[in-house]
Amino acid sequence: MDDSKGTAWVTGVRLHPNWVVGMGLVIAILIAIPAVVADGTGTTYSGRAFGVSVRIGPLDAKFADTGDLPPEGGVLDATVLTVQTDLAQAEVLLSVTMGFDNKAKSEAATAAVVLLPESANEIRADFVRAQTVATCSGVSGSSEIVALRLGGQPVVVSGSPNQVVGVPGVLQLVINEQIDSSHDRTSAITVNALHLTLVTGDEVIVSHAYSDVTCGQGAPSPKDFVTGGGFIDASGGKGNFGFVAGFKPGQSVMSGQLNYLDHDAGVHVKASRITGYGGMGNTRTFSGDATVNGDPGFTFKVTVSDVAEPGRGADSFEIWVSNEYHASGRLAGGNVQLHT
């Protein structure tokens, strides 16, 4: 949970008669978050997150890859997409890496995972998330894996780092793989939620998060943004979501992205731009223009609450779309994280 000070609602679009806010609040929040990027001298960051990596021989393809976080930190997020390869199929909900205030964080969330599709050793998971945090005092990492199955049989996920299951002579699957590479003044950690290695040497990684920080002198960076990846129960099925929205460190202009998929209802909402952001306490609301199933001309509003860590059963997500679609609930998997 990340309790915070309240922040004004900022909007540039009218989504509903009740969602109108005066320009005074816009000015207030822009004054509160000046455009300053520097994090002081001495502190350097590194990080990376991606949804899926498939390595076959010399070929290594990464999907929804943030790329490397620059030494000065900031926030990088990757476009959400659907993965369709011979070894892996998935829907990447969120890939984000960030560094500020002497802390580095990365997260990747992926849904509808199918590895080795249509084979006797097919691996499935409804939801897979990895998270890493590196601070001046140490590192932490975690994975969340929902409904993991191997060859049609359920796999009990222990929650311990580096759990190994496999099929002799065929494959090895490392669950919640954690690698602490801290050294000297650098805190560094990698988490791969699922790491599949075949006897051929081919590999698949699902939900990768890496963070490191080398601490020096630094001042807090002004910011107010929210990230999240997970799912709620919607329309009798799952409503999968991934988003980044708000004012990233040192930025006076709001930005972000949203992808929401309700397969049972046949609804895919993708933000084309974020035009409103605000809230108080541990709750934030953001809004903007969107496509629905690829068609433009729609608007949306999302309200989220960061109640606990991890967010399953505690954090909440609610979405309204101008075509009258609506869904809400506490997270059945995943996490919402407020950064202030």
Q: What is the pLDDT of residue 41?
A: 60
Q: What is the pLDDT of residue 23?
A: 34
Q: What is the pLDDT of residue 282?
A: 98
Please, are residues 129 and 334 in contact by the beta-carbon 8 Å criterion?
A: yes
Of the listed ranges 37-51, 93-107, 110-124, 152-166, the least confidently predicted one is 37-51
The domain ranges of the chain are 7-36+222-339, 44-214
Q: What is the pLDDT of residue 218?
A: 74
Q: What is the pLDDT of residue 79?
A: 81
The closest of 210, 227, 226 to 139, measured between CA atoms, is 210
Q: What is the pLDDT of residue 302?
A: 99
Q: Is the pLDDT of residue 16 over 70?
A: no
For 156-213, write each residue's pLDDT tens digit.
999 999 999 999 999 999 999 999 999 999 999 999 999 999 999 999 999 999 999 9
Q: What is the pLDDT of residue 235?
A: 76
Q: Is the pLDDT of residue 1 over 90?
A: no
Q: What is the residue type of 299?
A: T
Q: Which of the four pLDDT bands, split at 50, 70 and 90, describes residue 219?
A: confident
Q: Which of the four pLDDT bands, split at 50, 70 and 90, describes residue 310?
A: confident
User: Which run of H or E residues covers position 332?
Assistant: none
Q: What is the pLDDT of residue 329?
A: 96
Q: What is the pLDDT of residue 2?
A: 44
Q: Is the pLDDT of residue 224 over 80?
A: yes
**pLDDT > 90: percent of the chain:** 82
Q: How many Å apart are CA 82 and CA 169, to the nearest integer?
A: 30
Q: What is the mean predicted confidence (pLDDT) over 329-340?
A: 96
Sign of CA dihedral 62, 113, 98, 132: negative
Q: What is the pLDDT of residue 130?
A: 98
Q: Are strands 82-84 and 74-77 parallel, antiparallel or unpaired?
A: unpaired
Q: Is the pLDDT of residue 304 over 80?
A: yes
pTM of the prediction? Answer: 0.87
Q: What is the mean predicted confidence (pLDDT) over 308-326?
A: 95
Sequential DSSP letters for 126-188: EEEEEEEEEETTEEEEEEEEES-EETTEE-----STTEEEEETTTEEEEEEEEEE--BTTEEE
How many residues are recorded in the chain?
A: 340
For 322-332, write each residue's pLDDT tens digit.
999 999 999 99
Q: What is the pLDDT of residue 80?
A: 78
Q: Is the pLDDT of residue 25 over 60?
A: no
In angstroms, the Cα distances linking 243 to 79, 211, 258 are 10, 20, 4
